[in-house]
Structure 1
């Protein structure tokens, strides 16, 4: 469900990024209370076409939280140019309640974030909340940006260094600009991370790794960590900016080998949503989400690209093939969860539950 929120402030962070703060009315404060690391979906209508985009909440999850998201310009994008060039205080934007499982509930331990570009947004909330609420926790932020001028939330990160000098560590790498101090210029690719991380961190004793940013960076970081012996369950990922057509297929899905790519059966899809169930015939090539949306406009989704996880559903019956999956952990897929926007039926009957 979407709720209209008034824009309280639009702050320029860099030439191509802004922070948007919303006024949350008293009756919606519990609805928009976020867990550090979650995102919200924003909606607008252009020329009769509905556009949804997800953006991570970047502020700490305090007792009276501020709802703020960071938005970076995506060339040719449908929402970010509007946010940077037109959105102003006093405007109203429709927003969905916070969602997502790229989260860290504050607890004692040593945690590390490896982020690139706008991937700083959820990890900033995670780090700030953790350090404020758990005095026995430490956090190391390894961030990669093109230049200092393109780096989002520099002041907020510097504030964490000043407030928690003994518990917050920052390693900043620039790919297109020389630094007088800090890491040498260059991209954080797999070989570099594999050499860098053990030299700077006790890799084996880190309790959780949070990887966020472009697909290439997250993939390189995961490979480096796995080669260093880090268990998969300690690695948490959120992908930003996956280009259509360039991403690999889902690493795990329920599929039938005889089904050719992009093919699906036009059988019956049964879905449970908000406590109500319905069964509808699918069409050739449709995803589960497309079938459900033709009959239930309230079906949850945002990116439709297998990235945000808003359309996560439990597969009750039947089999599906996911085109790609950048939102569900391996454990979730093994437990029976699928992304409705990427799932094609490969059996005549498929049943999913969006409420689980």
Structure 2
């Protein structure tokens, strides 16, 4: 669900990125309570056209206060402020607006937090491989688990083009200063030599396969978190698989995917297809137009259907397939155990049978 939130801060991070802070009114704080690693969708209208973009929340989730302390920002009622990092994307409609026009006092529609790329505080050893703006959700994860769980350690391998392009450089350095014995930071620059540390260059599969075991016992890590461009995440996943890491311990979120060809177009279903959907406890049944995704069919009849990117990346449109079969063109959001359990991305799924039923509430 979207609510209009006032912008309270637009601060430069690098030459091509900013942080944006939104004020959460008291009556909405519970709705915007979030877990470390989740994201929000931001919506604006331009010449009648709707633009939605998804951004991860980058602040730490406030620790639960001691009994009787109900006045702190982390008093359990939800955040007073939401903060996201936005990097300029070439020809990006929203990112260009955010960096060049957005100002304090402006109001934007902001969806309540969503996403399953989360790390719940618990004792153990954790690690992440991130690239570029992929630091955003992981920054929240690191700050939250280190502040809440004294029995946790974290190793962060981050890749950036240059030092000047590195987002949240000071925030990560502060975490290192606060927990020097529990937080290991390994920065890598792909286009600039560092005075100390690792040589410059891309973190490809071969390099990660060699590097990671030198940093920590990879198979003893309780959770690996991979976030960034598709190439980096895929390379890291393959390296971890080659090193014997169990798939259940690897979690990933893609921040950018180039356009890829859709799958083969299925033959038209005789008589057309019917899409049934349950959303917010209400059901409906509608005919599907040839070539439409499940999400497009539902949106024609229910404007409140959840979505953000429509690219198979964010996972906002996740739904449980109840009956029928679908063809899912691409999936960069659902874990294998989710697809095994019957979950699909509605924005990428097309009917293969005459009747398809999905449940957005499941």
TM-score (norm 1): 0.95
Corresponding position of 1:253: none
State the distance in 1 between where 2:215 and 2:130 align.
16
SS across alignment from 1:44 = strand
Distance 1:262 1:69, change over 3 A: farther
Corresponding position of 1:252: none
Kept in 1, the 8 Å contact 2:87–2:133? The answer is yes
**Structure 1 residue 74 corresponds to structure 2 residue 89:** yes
Which of 341, 350, 354 matches 2:356?
A: 350
Corresponding position of 1:274: 280
SS across alignment from 1:186 = coil
The CA deviation string for residues 68-90 of structure 1, in whole angstroms up to 9 with x for no partner, is 00000001112110011111111
SS across alignment from 2:301 = coil
Kept in 1, the 8 Å contact 2:40–2:114? The answer is yes
Deviation of residue 244 (structure 1)?
1.3
State the distance in 2 between where 1:69 and 1:227 align.
34
Deviation of residue 140 (structure 1)?
0.7
Corresponding position of 2:173: 158
Which of 225, 237, 251 matches 2:252?
A: 237
Superposed counterparts of 1:97-108, under 5 Å: 97-108=112-123
State the distance in 1 between where 2:282 and 2:82 align.
31
Corresponding position of 1:32: 32
Corresponding position of 2:223: 208
Superposed counterparts of 1:1-356, under 5 Å: 1-62=1-62, 63=74, 65=79, 66-245=81-260, 260-261=264-265, 265=269, 266-356=272-362
The CA deviation string for residues 263-314 of structure 1, in whole angstroms up to 9 with x for no partner, is 5643000000111101000011110000001100000001000000000001
For structure 2, the 5+ residue unaligned runs are 63-73
Kept in 2, the 8 Å contact 1:264–1:286? The answer is no
The CA deviation string for residues 137-166 of structure 1, in whole angstroms up to 9 with x for no partner, is 001110000000000000000000000000
Kept in 2, the 8 Å contact 1:264–1:345? The answer is no
SS across alignment from 1:79 = helix
For structure 1, the 5+ residue unaligned runs are 250-259
SS across alignment from 2:93 = coil
Kept in 2, the 8 Å contact 1:57–1:67? The answer is yes
SS across alignment from 1:321 = strand
State the distance in 2 between where 1:264 and 1:28 align.
45
SS across alignment from 2:51 = strand
State the distance in 2 between where 1:170 and 1:264 align.
53
Distance 1:197 1:118, change over 3 A: same
Stretches of 4+ aligned residues off by more than 3 angstroms: 260-266
Kept in 2, the 8 Å contact 1:113–1:211? The answer is yes
Distance 1:13 1:314, change over 3 A: same
Paired residues, number: 345
